[in-house]
Structure 1
């Protein structure tokens, strides 16, 4: 009797786990009652207030968006940088403040394989996002 029970159990388990047409039989995921989009220690349960629109983003500094002259000066500085040797690049980088140098090296690493047209479009788009503004200001001062 014990062997017969083991055989039946083995047959059922084999059928259950090796059947190709087997569908999972778990419960569907349900939303937990009393939980809202903004539930947590700062919001009472069921509070569905929309998030505040502060207009602040840590990645945007609209005061440093580039003008057309800044974009052209940045492109000119990129072209000039590519012609410099290592020691001349070091001299140019030493003239930059640390945040400007970080932005500039990020820009150089981002556009080094792009065509000049792609570089201009990239800088123009990133300028709308508030990136590379300090590089443009430095380039304008460098060429003035």
Structure 2
């Protein structure tokens, strides 16, 4: 396996975020955690990932504070992987990726689920980037400023 270059000290927050998340397997682990997966065996079943690769990815997500290890709530000797506040903060990122795919995927008919509000069971509105006053913004209407 090729060793990754750390982007931890990069001044770009996008690069730093990618360093913290890791890779696409890690995003799929996080997706599954949002869907209620908590046990190593359940992650492995869902993702079809080799045990050694899953072990490394879970350890990295714990080390980065995205997942935490807790004793299993059923009293068994197993432990659960649960999202931390930092991990739950990734929810809008996953929603944005999902919505981008729903809009631009070459085969949207193969997408078999829709993200809905639990209470009303209605589709979630597309994420919107807005100015402080609520005005919608496009990429062309934004720029980077020094601090």
Which protein is bigger by CA-based radius of gyration? 1
Query: Normalization by structure 1: what TM-score?
Result: 0.25
Q: Which has the bigger relative contact order, CA under 8 A and spacing at least 6? A: 1
Q: Which has the higher strand share?
A: 2
